[in-house]
A and B are shown apart, each in its own frame.
Chain A
């Protein structure tokens, strides 16, 4: 005989579906209820009831649909990990899930985008060709720079959608979905990432990312609204099971979570204490130590080195100058990152006279290469003589996003001799050059930041500009004099090239003197 489920079972099913129950999870419970209803109905018929009376009696004995649905909802919630650990699942895990989803979406977009760019720009598959095309003409790949924002949007929305689905399947009610939405919105609020030529950053920071906060809230709001529409006219079944013995149970997850929380709290307290000590020491260094050391270094530079050459000939670099001393480094949105305080004209720095007309700025990975004036190499600066030494007044702007490990060759001076031979003189990070933003004090200065290690290189000038005053007031602008011995002093030098190796350091030349 076919089972007849009755109105109570149908009502229970309606309530559970409105609460988010899915077909598979409800099939078993509803089947048992329907079987029980059928047993009750058959028993009533056996006692002489009419069909209608038997149906009504079975419905009445089965129970109040809302109570049954509430009890089933509680059991189904407890049956899922998400239902047992909603604070952990919807309060802690969304940020972790976001990172995972971001990577997956990003990988998908990169794969699809790479294919599209290949089809559009290269025409034959080669990762090297693609990289070359991108480096040669990065402005033609403008669509690439919108990718992180798109990935952010997709990942934030997918996380909220995913946790919304989990909350619904666990019959947890929209408040847990709202919590996941809020947590994700908080994460999106501080999310900072972007793509520029030669630079990608991903992290958290300030100013706030309003779009990152709005997207999860919008998606969560839509899901809650959709949930409310589904439940319209159906009694709410969320809430604890009536009559259920409520006891705290120590589960491995709860213990693990408590231990983790204690560990994080303890670590946080220790870090806070250490940070307090460090802040106090930093204050003392800033007030008393570093200003004195900086003043002493500047005074020593002002007094000047003893001349190391009397036969030097400064080279006229004006034809190759591509930035005035007062020009700010491109890409610095605040401006003011310049060398305006460096005196132009003929001056002696670190014992060598240099003729300063401006900056010969070369390209690094972090400098926007769509400025056509920034080359990776300037060629054939005429020398036209024999010489024993070549002196450079130079520096390098290091990227904040692209580390420049010591030992990295950041540029080269290429000597072209009359016999067509060449000699390359490498400029090595840490040896001939350091970041032009750095300490001139010595106490607690990072070991690799104090002075270049090459014997022919010394600090030639230190100063400040508005950008460094604002961003890192403890630091100074630093320029170095490097003296290279000509490997072939007997050969006639026709010209020299100044070349960047396009690393995280963007080298620049201010003066060149030969002797």
Chain B
């Protein structure tokens, strides 16, 4: 699998992370696993880069974090905040608009 095009996918990691956190609070490793499983490995990326994204989302006030001990390990759990939910709605709407536009182009090409 080739590396994804970062500039083309601007905003996509944010959308995915917020969407996953909208379901329940998760820690970084869980989020990466969920992305890979649910997208069926559509994205290939260095897994460590999820943390800068999470800290960015936290700095923006969209998620919060808390450290919790689980099975002898200390985990940093991230939770979606109301502002993050609003951001998720905006990103989702934008993504659907773009995807619909791309869909129209693709359908036109096959016509």
Give the B-binding residues of A (Cβ under 8 A). Answer: 1, 8, 12, 28-29, 32-33, 35-36, 38-40, 61-64, 67-68, 71-72, 74-75, 78-79, 241-246
**13 interchain pairs, CB-CB under 8 A:** A29-B51, A36-B50, A36-B51, A39-B29, A40-B29, A62-B47, A63-B46, A67-B46, A78-B56, A79-B59, A243-B6, A245-B14, A246-B10
- Chain B residues whose C-beta falls within 8 Å of the C-beta of A67 in the assembled complex: 46, 49
Closest to B29 in A: A39
Question: A64-B46, A75-B59 in contact; A33/B51 too (CB < 8 A)?
Answer: yes
- With a cutoff of 8 Å between Cβ atoms, the chain A residues found around residue B56 in the complex are 75, 78, 244
State which residues 38-52 of B face A: CB under 8 Å: 45-52
Q: Is B64 interfacial (CB 8 A cutoff)? A: no
Bound together, the chains give a CA A341 to CA B85 distance in angstroms of 88
Taking A35-B73, A243-B13 as given, write out 9 further A-B residue pairs in contact, using a Cβ cutoff of 8 Å, ordered by the A residue number.
Answer: A12-B48, A32-B51, A33-B48, A35-B75, A36-B48, A62-B47, A63-B46, A68-B52, A72-B51
Are B49 and A63 in contact, with the CB atoms below 8 A?
yes
Asked if B74 CB lies within 8 Å of chain A CBs, one says yes
The docked-state distance in angstroms from the alpha carbon of A72 to that of B59 is 13
> A32–B77 Cα gap in the complex (Å)?
11
In contact, A243 and B9 (Cβ under 8 angstroms):
yes
A72 in complex: contacting residue of B13, B29, B52, B75, CB < 8 Å: B52
Closest B residue to A68 by CB, please name it: B48
CB distance from A139 to the nearest CB of B (A): 61
Nearest opposing residue in chain B for A38, CB measure: B73
Within 8 A of A (CB), among B58-111: 59, 72-76
Query: A75 and B52: CB pair below 8 A?
Result: yes
- Docked pose: A35 CA to B29 CA in angstroms: 8
The reply to whether B10 and A243 form a contact with Cβ atoms under 8 Å apart is yes
Q: A36-B47, A63-B45 are in contact. Are A242 and B6 (CB under 8 A)?
A: yes
Contact with A along B21-51 (1 / 0, CB 8 A): 0000000110010000000000001111111
User: Residue of A at shortest CB range from B72?
Assistant: A1
CA distance A406 to B5 in the complex (A): 77
Binding site for A on B (CB under 8 A): 6-7, 9-11, 13-14, 28-29, 32, 45-52, 55-56, 59, 72-76
Q: Is the CB of B28 within 8 A of A68?
A: no
In the A-B complex, list the 3 residue pairs whose CB atoms are closest, starting with the nearest. A63-B46, A243-B6, A71-B52
| Interchain CA distance A40-B74 in the complex, whole Å | 15
The answer to whether B76 and A32 touch across the interface, beta carbons within 8 angstroms, is: yes
**Which residues on the A side are within 8 Å of B6 (C-beta)?**
242-243
From known contacts A243-B9, A245-B11, infer whether A62 and B48 are also in contact, taking CB-CB under 8 Å.
yes
- Residues from chain A with Cβ under 8 Å of B13 in the complex: 243
CA distance A368 to B48 in the complex (A): 71
Decide: B52 and A241 in contact? CB cutoff 8 A.
yes
Partner of B7 from A40, A68, A71, A243 at Cβ < 8 Å: A243
Q: Does A40 contact B47, Cβ atoms closer than 8 Å?
A: yes
Contacts of B28 in A (CB 8 A): 32, 35-36
Is A62 a contact partner of B46 (Cβ separation < 8 A)?
A: yes
Closest to A76 in B: B55
CB-nearest residue of chain A to B59 = A79
Q: Using known A-B contacts A1-B72, A32-B28, A36-B29, determine if residue A78 contacts B47 with beta carbons closer than 8 Å.
A: no
Tell me if B55 and A29 are in contact (CB < 8 A): yes
Question: Looking across the interface, which residue of chain B has its beta carbon closest to that of A9?
Answer: B48
Query: Which of A8, A12, A28, A36 is packed against the most chain B CB atoms within 10 Å?
Result: A36
The minimal Cβ–Cβ distance linking A396 to chain B, given in whole angstroms, is: 65
Q: Which residues of B contact A28 (CB under 8 A)?
A: 76
**Distance (Å) between the CB of B69 and the closest chain A CB?**
12
For A29, list chain B residues within 8 Å (CB). Answer: 51-52, 55
Residues of B within 8 A of A61 (CB): 46-47
A78–B56 CA distance with the chains assembled, in angstroms: 8
Distance (whole angstroms) from the CB of A243 to the closest CB of chain B: 3
B29, B48, B55, B76: the one within 8 Å of A63 (CB): B48
* CB nearest neighbor in A for B32: A36
Query: Closest CB-CB distance, B71 to chain A, in whole Å?
Result: 10
Q: Which residues of B contact A72 (CB under 8 A)?
A: 51-52
Q: How far is the CA of A67 from the CA of B3 in the complex (A)?
A: 13
